[in-house]
Chain A
């Protein structure tokens, strides 16, 4: 038991590295917030563009969404981080992580919001158009609000899953929770920093996981 405590909850190590993990937590939080905002924003925008049913544009959007949903994010991160500098584009690790995860979340969000748009009843479009709203107005004021409401649970789940991937920043040296914890672990030759990291992630994400459970119950599909 003593050995267990000493390995995973070593008070001295915990105290020494807590500040660094707290710094990492800030990076994780900022990255997560930015990724969620821009990823869902971009995805919604693409879903709206697709609603105009302009063939070449829809085609490109579908290809984009398919590819980024099929590729492991870590592959994209490595390509961007190690490949781009050789063609003259030098981005910091944090920026690469932000961009890649934003693009990945946008791909999923596009598909999810699009599913919401297509399952909004045709009568809603007709009612809106019959009162003189243009296509864009009907989309923005009538269809999109309903579509987004319908897809809040899957969107939340996907946003959580993808913001958790900020931990992948470890591989390219982003100083987030896991990155700092991993450094601390090798300096201290003790597992406590990793325990601290795990706890930090649970504190950050568990409320959202529980929240998503609540959302799912609230938005439960009728008829089940």
Chain B
């Protein structure tokens, strides 16, 4: 595996299969995401988008297949999972902020307990991350005192602060009131502009057209179609993609 850093994909998924019991949910996913690329994942409910994303952080254990982060194996035995997970940031649909900690506490927890940074050092990094998502003034607030959009931005800061190699977003805006979606998308735009590699599951088509480098359409646990946003969203070649998109344009 003597590949140069330029050609090594930042995230590589090979022949990923996942079954829950006897129910196959992922049936062979191959995907490679280049450095600084933003890949958008579309697909009907139950097509396996979340499962694929969660496998990339091993919140779900793949049934078979391999996943690499910058050429380093994430799957299989003998992997230092907690160290690898810090290279894969995850943003959840339901935010999952820790309610007993302030925004600052949410962001510093892993810095202090996993990376063993001093409090001062961790808070400096966290302050920077909170600044990136525009919430410097909310650092001492608890999640309950923040709006949904603000909570999701804190969650992004929490992932961002660990300086991950790639970030995974699972429907980051679908739990938000419409008027709060824009703030979160703006933050994601900034994160991309800073060069982050991103894999995003979302139904924000406008955002996909404008910001994605590539769009993937999944159905029945497989990647059915992929390409530049204009092509997949504008001139899809597969019937299932067309049927799916028609519901959005209707």
Contact = CB atoms under 8 A, between A and B. Distances in A.
A–B contact (CB under 8 angstroms): yes
A145 B97 CA distance: 13
Contact of A132 (B94, B97, B114, B155): B114
A146 B85 contact: no
B126 to A, nearest CB: 12
Given A134-B82, A137-B114, A127 B97 contact: yes
B96 A126 contact: yes
A132 B59 contact: no
Interface string B101-134: 0000000011001100000000000000000000
Contacts of A130: 57, 59, 85, 88-90, 159
A149 B142 CA distance: 15
A138 to B, nearest CB: 9
A131 B90 CA distance: 8
Interface size class of A (residues with CB under 8 A): 10 to 19
A146 B100 CA distance: 6
Chain A contact surface mostly: helix
A123 B82 contact: no
Contacts of B59: 126, 129-130
A131 B85 contact: yes
Given A137-B114, A146-B98, A146-B99, A129 B92 contact: no
Nearest to B90: A130
B98 A131 contact: no
A142 interface: yes
A133 B98 contact: no
B99 A133 contact: no
B100 A133 contact: no
B205 to A, nearest CB: 26
Given A146-B99, A146-B100, A149-B100, A131 B109 contact: yes
Interface string A86-125: 0000000000000000000000000000000000010110
Interface in B177-211: none
Given A129-B59, A129-B85, A130-B57, A123 B114 contact: no
B134 to A, nearest CB: 21
Contact of A127 (B83, B98, B162): B98
A132 B82 CA distance: 4
Output the residue of B90, B92, B100 with the most chain A CB within 10 A. B100
A219 interface: no
A124 B57 CA distance: 15
Contacts of B82: 132-134
Given A131-B110, A131-B162, A133-B109, A123 B86 contact: no
A141 interface: yes
A130 B100 CA distance: 18
Contacts of A123: 92, 94, 96
A123 B110 CA distance: 16
Interface string A130-172: 1111100100011001100100000000000000000000000
A132 B94 CA distance: 19
Nearest to A131: B110
A67 B57 CA distance: 42
A132 B79 CA distance: 13
Nearest to B94: A123
A137 B82 CA distance: 11
Interface in B39-77: 57, 59
A214 B159 CA distance: 38
27 contacts: A121-B96, A123-B96, A126-B59, A127-B90, A127-B98, A127-B158, A128-B98, A129-B59, A130-B57, A130-B59, A130-B85, A131-B86, A131-B109, A131-B114, A131-B158, A131-B159, A132-B82, A132-B85, A132-B110, A132-B162, A133-B109, A133-B110, A133-B114, A137-B113, A142-B98, A146-B99, A146-B100
Given A130-B159, A142-B109, 20 more contacts: A123-B92, A123-B94, A124-B98, A126-B59, A126-B90, A126-B92, A127-B158, A130-B59, A131-B86, A131-B90, A131-B109, A131-B110, A131-B114, A131-B159, A132-B86, A132-B110, A132-B114, A133-B110, A134-B114, A137-B113
Interface of B: 57, 59, 82-83, 85-86, 88-90, 92, 94, 96-100, 109-110, 113-114, 155, 158-159, 162
